Amino acid sequence: MSDAVKPEDKALILDFGGVISRTLFETHALSEAALGLAAGTLTWQGPFAPETDALWQAMQADQISERDYWLQRTREVGRLLGEDWTAMQTFVQRARGADVQAVIRPEAVAAIHQAKALGYKLGILSNELDLFYGADFRERLPLLQQFDVIVDATYTQILKPDPRAYQACLQALGVRAEHAVFVDDQPRNIDGALRCGLRVVQLDVQQPEKGFEWAVHTLASF
């Protein structure tokens, strides 16, 4: 037991979009209400019904990038409102500004509080937290105050899976890579974390509870 890592030397590092927050696929009803669209207007379901989402299938086949996918969806939703939307942050801020708490995963909240109670450090490593949600979002979401470190490429301009992104987060937290568990829903970001020596959990957005449980369990195991 003398070789066990102290809790304060461990860290749970989470992506934000899709991990702490629910995906835009899961919150169509909230988006429609916030935007004044009729219920059922938004029908694309991405990983929840890939057979009905040809654009998602094209992304999965590497025919288009993830950003291409969301830019097209953003433009489509803007056109439904008679507006010209050219940036995803317009979609996110307009669709999710009304009720911040409603888009947060309860499974993520539970894991964050559990990790905090166990004495682990908490970090967020995001490519676009403030870019997509706006700089005032942190004030409107008290949950973010639980985190010791938030590394956001909105400001650093270093996006995952660049190894410097993970290294900056680890350095700010003051923990070694092998003593941290990183949770993300995107395979490329998981691969980047693995290359940097972190322990990883790729979150299945259809079964988020299992992913968070495994992340906390992994931290407790060493």
Task: Give tens-digit pLDDT for 7-49.
Answer: 999 999 999 999 999 999 999 999 999 999 999 999 999 999 9
Length of the chain: 222
CA separation for the pair 65, 104 (Å, rounded): 25
Cβ contact 21:105 at 8 Å: yes
With 70 as the cut, is the pLDDT of residue 1 above it?
no
When pLDDT is cut at 50, 70 and 90, the band that residue 125 belongs to is very high
185/95 same-domain check: no
Number of domains the chain contains? 2
CA separation for the pair 173, 188 (Å, rounded): 23
pTM: 0.93
208/113 same-domain check: yes
With 90 as the cut, is the pLDDT of residue 65 above it?
no
Cβ contact 161:127 at 8 Å: no
When pLDDT is cut at 50, 70 and 90, the band that residue 134 belongs to is confident
pLDDT of residue 188: 87
| E strand or H helix that includes residue 180 | strand 180-184
Which residue segment(s) compose the domain that 124 sits in? Answer: 7-22+104-220
Q: Of the residues 75, 100, 125, which one is the last residue of a structural domain?
A: 100
pLDDT of residue 198: 98
| E strand or H helix that includes residue 121 | strand 121-126
| % of the chain beyond a pLDDT of 90 | 84
Cβ contact 47:25 at 8 Å: yes
Please give the structure tokens belonging to residue 8: 């304060």
pLDDT of residue 104: 96
pLDDT of residue 96: 87
Give a yes or no: residue 139 inside a domain: yes
When pLDDT is cut at 50, 70 and 90, the band that residue 59 belongs to is confident
User: What sign for the dihedral angle of Cα 125, 130, 133, 137?
Assistant: positive
When pLDDT is cut at 50, 70 and 90, the band that residue 120 belongs to is very high
With 80 as the cut, is the pLDDT of residue 173 above it?
yes
Please give the structure tokens belonging to residue 47: 């990983």
What is the mean pLDDT of the segment spanning 158-182?
97
Give a yes or no: residue 2 inside a domain: no
Give a yes or no: residue 1 inside a domain: no
Residue linked to tokens 């092998």? 178
60/42 same-domain check: yes
206/183 same-domain check: yes
What is the mean pLDDT of the segment spanning 111-128?
97
pLDDT of residue 135: 84
71/11 same-domain check: no
Buried b (16+ CB within 10 A) or exposed e, 7-19: eebbbbbbbbbbb
